[in-house]
Chains A and B, each alone.
Chain A
Amino acid sequence: MSVLYALLFYVAFVLLVGGVGFKIYQYWSTPAPLKIPTTPAPTTRGGVVFRIGREVVLFESLFKSNKWIWLFGYMFHVGLALVLIRHGRYFQEVGPLLKFLQPFGIYAGFAMVAGLLGLWARRILVERIRYITGPSDHLILALLVGIGASGLMMKFVKHTDIVAVKVFFQNMMQFNLGALSLPGDPVLMLHLFLVAVLMIIFPLSKLLHAPGIFFSPTRNQVDNPREKRHIAPWAAEMEK
Chain B
Amino acid sequence: MADFQTPEFREYPAVPNTLIPNATAHLSPFVAKPEHQEQLGFPGELVDNWEEKAIDKMGDLLGKYRSLRVYLDSCVKCGSCTDKCHYFQGTSDPKNMPVARQDLMRSVYRRYFTFAGKTLSKFGLGGIVGAREMNREVLDEWYSYFHQCSQCRRCSVFCPYGIDTAEISMAAREIMDHVGLGQKYCNEILGKLQKVGNNLGLPEPALKATLAEYGEEIEDDTGLPVRLPLDVKGADILLITPSADFFAEPHIDGLMGYAKVFHEAGVSWTLSSYASEAANFSMFIGSYSNMKICAERIRDAAIELGVKRIIVGECGHAWRVAYSFWNTVAGIGSGADENDVYAQKLQKQLDHSFKQPTHICEFTYDLIQKGKLRFNKAENDHRTVTFHDSCNVARGSRMGDWAGGQFDIPRAVIKACCNNYVDMDPDSIKEKTYCCGGGGGLLTDDLMEIRVKGALPRMEALKDVSDNKGVNTLAAICAICKAQFAKVLPYYNFPMSMLVSTHQLVGEALVMTGSEQEKELMEEEAEASEED
User: Which residue numbers of A lie inside 8 Å of B, CB to CB?
Assistant: 23, 26-27, 30-36, 38-43, 47, 55, 59, 61-62, 64-66, 69, 73, 119, 122, 126-129, 131-137, 139, 201, 204-206, 208-209, 212-213, 215-219, 223, 225-232, 234-235, 238-239
Contact = CB atoms under 8 A, between A and B. Distances in A.
14 contacts: A23-B73, A34-B325, A35-B325, A39-B406, A40-B406, A43-B401, A55-B162, A64-B158, A131-B19, A135-B127, A136-B128, A225-B333, A226-B356, A227-B335
Contact of B163 (A27, A216, A239): A216
Contacts of B80: 61-62, 65-66, 69
B403 A229 contact: no
Contacts of A35: 324-325, 328
Nearest to A38: B156
Given A133-B77, A216-B70, 4 more contacts: A30-B64, A42-B403, A43-B401, A128-B19
A108 to B, nearest CB: 21
Contacts of B66: 27, 30-32, 215, 217
Contacts of A216: 67, 70-71, 74, 161-163
Provide the main secondary structure of the chain A interface.
helix
A42 B164 CA distance: 18
B103 A132 contact: yes
A39 B406 CA distance: 9
Contacts of B64: 30-31, 33, 232, 234
Interface in B146-171: 153, 156-164, 167
Contact of A225 (B18, B158, B292, B323): B323
B162 A218 contact: yes
Interface string B224-247: 000000000000000000000000
B328 A134 contact: no
Contacts, number: 226
Interface stretch (B81-89, B202-210, B437-445): B81-89
B328 A27 contact: no
B357 interface: yes
A178 B73 CA distance: 41
Given A39-B394, A69-B80, A61 B160 contact: yes
Contact of B18 (A127, A212, A228): A127
B532 interface: no
A139 to B, nearest CB: 7
Interface in B480-505: none
B395 interface: yes
B396 A39 contact: yes
A238 B330 CA distance: 11
Contact of B289 (A205, A226, A238): A238
B74 A32 contact: no
Contacts of A33: 64-65, 288, 328
Contacts of B128: 134-136, 139
A213 B74 contact: yes
Contacts of B431: 38-40
Contacts of B129: 134-136, 205
Interface stretch (B5-13, B94-102, B256-264, B520-528): B94-102
A132 B99 contact: yes
Contacts of A34: 288, 324-325, 328
B16 interface: yes
Contacts of A66: 79-80, 158
Contacts of A234: 64
